[in-house]
């Protein structure tokens, strides 16, 4: 993975930069020891690492502003960091950068059940946002599988999704406002406890901007009352086509499940061996979950099961207890772990139009043979967000590169059929160079022009999202 050559001027003045940071932060909030900064050398894309120049852990928006002023004055790149669970290398540093972590900013600032929002500092983890409103029966809807660890900061920067976004939307649909600090150190408030923008929708651009437009320190999030109940059904089919058709028919019938998850045979086998959830041995498996009261769930499932039966399922399992529900979800939830048990794996995240599902799965199967690498597919079928897991052996020379090439081919395939490179994990460094397959140079240029406005010196997370060749002129001009 190419990264820009670190700016030698910045490297040379490390001591001075650290000293200036220590002037604006408590001593324990500035980490510059070469060993200690290693804690920040990578995120969950662990294949790539680079220790930063230093890391800072401010405790307030004002401290964030003070740090950014110093970095702006000294021309030091800044990489914002939440919990470091990005799968795209979004929070991976460069040698000349400062990691700005919001991990110490975890306060709940306001909860308002009447107006249904919560305001938090962004270092708070996703799950603990729901945790803060649970007693009143509320929750924060976007639920990435990493929710125990990942922070709202990263969720906003990546516009993260989750298993239930078919019904509740992704982060951007649940974000009402932010407090953000610009690279120049100016604190801005965008949106708030009311809906929609009075002018241009700046909030909409900030969400999903991968830490390149500003450092988000506080967020106003929409909260909802929990449904009365939820229940999954499991369906097994003897072909991917039929399972795909069933998904489409459910959606067309006007029933909106909260989740429709899909697993293919390699994935089913792996999770069976790992978790023993009792899944049928079949080509394709769907888990469909609906919400409501018992009566409402019965009514919805009756429709869904009728649709499924019309597709001659090899198995149809309705949960009748909390225990059974948990078992239905068990395999799906342990899918990543199961695949990890077999081998190292790379998790892709392309999205495709649901109608292209059978074709794409077939092509992935063919590519898998060509590359000689196994792949399992587990994904959010309702919205076409695929997570092919490619298995490889990190200890085998050349295997990682082969796996990456295979992954790139799959993502190009997603684009080719009308989809996109990433549905929820973000571009980061991982998919940066594939951006040219989805966008023309002018499409990338207008996006970079947005960064020019927010961060004219290109100091915030500059080596991400855009192919290095595309962003080079801008980054150089800034140096």
Partner 1 sequence: MTSREGPDPNGNQVANLSRIFEGQEKMMTPLTEAELSDVIAGAKGPLRIQGGGTRDIGAPVQGEVLSTAGLSGVTLYEPGALTLVAVAGTPLADIEDTLAVEGQRLAFEPVDHRGLLGTTGTSTIGGVVAGNISGPRRIQVGACRDSLLGVRFVDGAGRVLKNGGRVMKNVTGYDLVKLMAGSWGTLGVLTEVSLKVQALPEAVGCVLINGLSDEDAVAAMSAALGSPFDVSGAAHAPSGVDGHPVTMIRIEGLEASVAYRAAKLTDVLARFGGEVSVERDADKVAVGWAWVRDVAAMQGGAGDVWRISVKPSDGPEVVEKLRALYADLRVLYDWGGGLVWVQVPAGTDVRSVAFEGHATLIRSSRETRASLPVFHPEPAPLATLSQGLRAKFDPRGILNPGLMG
Ligand X SMILES: Cc1cc2nc3c(=O)[nH]c(=O)nc-3n(C[C@H](O)[C@H](O)[C@H](O)COP(=O)(O)OP(=O)(O)OC[C@H]3O[C@@H](n4cnc5c(N)ncnc54)[C@H](O)[C@@H]3O)c2cc1C
Q: Which of residues 91-120 bind partner 1 (CB under 8 A)?
A: 112-116
Task: Decide: helix, strand or coil at residue 202.
Answer: helix
Least distance between partner 1 and beta carbon 374 (Å): 25
154 binds ligand X (CB under 6 A): yes
Judged by CB under 6 A, which of 176, 216, 367, 414 binds ligand X? 216
Question: Following DSSP, what letter does each residue of 418-440 receive, concatenated?
Answer: T-BS-SSS--TTTTGGGHHHHS-
For partner 1, which residue of 296, 318, 399, 409 counts as binding (CB under 8 A)? Answer: 296
Among 76, 207, 215, 250, contact with ligand X (rule: CB under 6 A): 215
By CB under 8 A, name the one of 17, 54, 427, 463 that touches partner 1.
427
Q: CA nearest 55: which of 20, 22, 89, 29?
A: 29
- Which of ligand X, partner 1, none sits in contact with 146, Cβ below 5 to 8 A by type? ligand X
Interface map 52-81 toward partner 1 (x if CB under 8 A) = ------------------------------
Q: Token digits for 367?
A: 């590519």
- Select 7 or 212, whichever has its Cβ closest to partner 1: 212
* Contact residue for partner 1 among 1, 108, 149, 450 (CB under 8 A): 450
Least gap, CB of 256 to ligand X (angstroms):
20
Please select the residue that binds ligand X; options are 51, 58, 90, 407, rule is CB under 6 A: 90
Q: Residue 60 has which token pair? A: 């307030």
Single residue of 155, 174, 319, 356 touching ligand X by CB under 6 A:
155
Would you count residue 431 as binding partner 1 (CB under 8 A)?
yes
Binding mask 334-353 for ligand X (x = CB under 6 A): --x-----------------
Beta bridge partners of 237: 284
According to the binding rule CB under 8 A, does residue 2 interact with partner 1? no
Q: Confirm or reject binding of residue 87 to ligand X (CB under 6 A).
A: yes
* From 51, 52, 77, 144, residue interacting with ligand X (rule: CB under 6 A): 144
| Residue with token string 């009728």 | 306
Cα angle vertex 249, ends 248, 255, to 5°? Answer: 100
Q: In angstroms, give the least distance from the CB of 163 to ligand X.
A: 7
Number of residues that bind ligand X (CB under 6 A): 37
Q: Cβ of 396: how many Cβ atoms within 10 Å? A: 10
Quote the CA–CA distance of 157 and 159 in Å, as a whole number. Answer: 6
What backbone phi and psi angles, to 5 degrees, belong to 118? -130, 145
Task: Kindly state the tokens that stand for 170.
Answer: 């992704």
Output phi, psi for 129, to 5 deg: -70, -50
Tokens representing 362 are 């077939």
Please report where in the chains the tokens 């909106």 appear, as a residue.
Answer: 256
Residues in region 370-409 near partner 1 by CB under 8 A: 380, 382-385
The contact pattern for partner 1, residues 338-377, with x = CB under 8 A and - = no contact, is: -------------xxxxx----------------------
Q: CA separation (Å) from 440 to 434, 435, 447, 450?
A: 11, 9, 11, 16
Q: Quick check: 415 binds partner 1 (CB under 8 A)?
A: yes
> In sequence order, what DSSP letters do the residues of 377-404 get, joined into one string?
EEEEGGGTB--EEEEE-TTSTTHHHHHH
Instruction: Compute the 3-state secondary structure of the chain and give helix, strand, coil in percent, each to the nearest 5.
Output: 40, 20, 40
Binding site for ligand X (CB under 6 A): 43-44, 79-87, 90-91, 102, 122, 144-146, 150-151, 153-155, 157-158, 160-162, 210-211, 215-216, 336, 424-426, 461
């Amino acid at each position: 993975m190419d990264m820009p050559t670190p700016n030698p001027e910045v490297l040379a003045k490390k001591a001075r930069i650290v000293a200036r940071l220590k002037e604006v932060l408590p001593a324990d909030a500035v980490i510059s020891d070469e060993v200690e900064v290693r804690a920040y050398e990578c995120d969950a894309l662990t294949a790539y690492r680079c220790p930063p120049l230093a890391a800072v852990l401010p405790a307030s928006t004002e401290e964030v502003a003070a740090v950014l002023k110093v970095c702006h004055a000294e021309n030091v790149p800044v990489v914002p960091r939440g919990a470091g669970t990005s799968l795209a290398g979004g929070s991976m540093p460069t040698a000349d950068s400062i990691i700005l972590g919001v991990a110490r900013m975890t306060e709940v600032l306001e909860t308002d059940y009447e107006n249904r929002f919560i305001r938090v500092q962004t270092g708070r983890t996703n799950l603990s946002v729901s945790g803060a409103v649970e007693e009143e029966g509320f929750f924060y809807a976007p639920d990435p599988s990493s929710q125990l660890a990942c922070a709202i900061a990263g969720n906003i920067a990546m516009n993260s999704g989750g298993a239930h976004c078919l019904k509740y939307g992704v982060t951007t649909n649940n974000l009402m406002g932010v407090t953000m600090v610009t690279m120049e150190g100016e604190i801005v408030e965008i949106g708030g406890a009311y809906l929609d923008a009075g002018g241009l929708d700046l909030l909409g651009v900030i969400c999903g901007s991968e830490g390149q437009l500003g450092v988000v320190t506080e967020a106003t999030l929409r909260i909802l009352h929990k449904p009365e109940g939820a229940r999954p059904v499991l369906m097994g089919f003897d072909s991917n086509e039929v399972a795909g058709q069933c998904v489409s028919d459910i959606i067309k019938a006007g029933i909106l499940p909260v989740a429709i998850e899909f697993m293919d045979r390699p994935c089913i086998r792996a999770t069976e061996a790992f978790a023993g959830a009792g899944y049928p041995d079949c080509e394709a498996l769907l888990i469909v979950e609906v919400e409501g009261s018992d009566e409402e769930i019965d009514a919805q499932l009756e429709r869904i099961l009728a649709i499924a039966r019309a597709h001659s399922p090899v198995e149809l399992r309705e949960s009748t207890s909390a225990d059974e529900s948990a078992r239905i979800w068990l395999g799906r939830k342990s899918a990543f772990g199961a695949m990890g048990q077999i081998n190292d794996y790379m998790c892709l995240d392309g999205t495709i139009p649901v109608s292209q599902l059978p074709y794409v799965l077939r092509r992935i199967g063919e590519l898998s043979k060509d590359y000689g690498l196994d792949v399992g597919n587990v994904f959010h079928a309702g919205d076409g967000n695929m997570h092919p897991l490619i298995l490889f052996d990190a200890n085998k020379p050349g295997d990682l590169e082969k796996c990456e090439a295979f992954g790139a081919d799959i993502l190009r395939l997603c684009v080719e059929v009308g989809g996109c490179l990433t549905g929820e994990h973000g571009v980061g460094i991982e998919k940066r160079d594939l951006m040219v397959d989805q966008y023309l140079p002018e499409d990338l240029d207008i996006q970079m022009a947005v960064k020019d406005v927010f961060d004219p010196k290109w100091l915030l997370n500059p080596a991400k999202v855009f192919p290095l060749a595309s962003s080079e002129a801008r980054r150089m001009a800034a140096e």
